[in-house]
Chains A and B, each alone.
Chain A
Amino acid sequence: KNEVEQSPQNLTAQEGEFITINCSYSVGISALHWLQQHPGGGIVSLFMLSSGKKKHGRLIATINIQEKHSSLHITASHPRDSAVYICAVRSEETSGSRLTFGEGTQLTVNP
């Protein structure tokens, strides 16, 4: 079993829909990252969370440390949100720059 599991692996939505991507992990963590990988391959950091909730524009990320679970929500989805979304965790036992990644969720938003 991977340390970081994402669901779903693939997600297709219609423009305007509310989207949720889930990330579960099995180790104690000091931080969790959400990343976005564009169709061209470039990777952008969206959020880093250690507790609670963060919001940036139409994106919301939440984390429940006790349940070892995080969600990424996209409100009013748009075709330009089509990308791979990747969850990554930093274990409590490792140093500040060692990350373990989920396999990613491929999101397609149709107009």
Chain B
Amino acid sequence: EAQVTQNPRYLITVTGKKLTVTCSQNMNHEYMSWYRQDPGLGLRQIYYSMNVEVTDKGDVPEGYKVSRKEKRNFPLILESPSPNQTSLYFCASKGRDRGHGEQFFGPGTRLTVL
């Protein structure tokens, strides 16, 4: 089954404790992205990657890092989380095929930083 998986789905942590949210897709997609969703602000793009070793900042990259060492994985790293990073996070992937351009979203990770 074609899918994007994220782990963990829920995480409560404390300020300053480094964490990683993993994202993996099994569709051999070139494009992968991370988004955060906050009430009243909607979805905002954090980082995206157009292929292995190619990443770029989205609209709200501050406080986040990413890496794309393998095509299937695109982890999101919070080196020193702060309460303003409490949010719902989504990973998504898309193939280069321009036929439909459908983005496949992961199930989301709800992060609370105390």
Contacts and interface: CB of A to CB of B under 8 A. Distances in A.
B11 interface: no
Interface string A70-111: 000000000000000010100000011111111110000000
A27 interface: no
A51 interface: no
Nearest to A2: B42
Contact of A97 (B43, B90, B94, B108): B94
What secondary structure prevails in chain B residues at the interface with A? strand
Chain A interface size band reads 20 to 34
Interface stretch (A18-26, A40-48, A60-68): A40-48
Interface string B32-43: 110000001111
Nearest to B92: A43
Interface in B57-108: 58-59, 88, 90, 92, 94, 96, 100-105, 107-108
Interface of A: 31, 33, 35, 41-45, 48, 86, 88, 95-104
Interface of B: 31-33, 40-45, 48-50, 56, 58-59, 88, 90, 92, 94, 96, 100-105, 107-108
